[in-house]
Amino acid sequence: MTTTYERHEYSAIFPDMQPAEYTALRESIKASGQVHPIIVFQGQVLDGWQRYRVCQELGIEPAVKEFEGDESAPGTLHAGPDGDDGGRA
């Protein structure tokens, strides 16, 4: 049983991966494990929603890191260098 999180509204701004990208991410995590932590804020996934979904599917407890930014400045919340996951595990 893995920890469950809801998707933060800021994470939802970014579109989900295309099926081929998602499959590649899933295979990468399956083969090599999760490389980048999922960023959570107040119990919700802020960055790494696709990685989180893959971990859930594979039954892997996701590595998470609590967001350490300034919550009063939501424009500073960043979802990674190229969108949510950028196809990276």
| Residues 10, 8: Cα–Cα separation, whole Å | 5
| Residues 65, 69: Cα–Cα separation, whole Å | 12
| Residues 33, 38: Cα–Cα separation, whole Å | 13
For the whole model, what pTM was predicted? 0.78
- What type of residue is 19? P
Instruction: Give the per-residue pLDDT at 83.
Output: 46
53 near 27, Cβ under 8 Å? no
Q: pLDDT band at 81, cuts 50/70/90?
A: very low
Per-residue pLDDT tens digits for 21-77: 999 999 999 999 999 999 999 999 999 999 999 999 999 999 999 998 876 655 555
48 near 86, Cβ under 8 Å? no
Residue carrying the six token digits 């196809």: 87
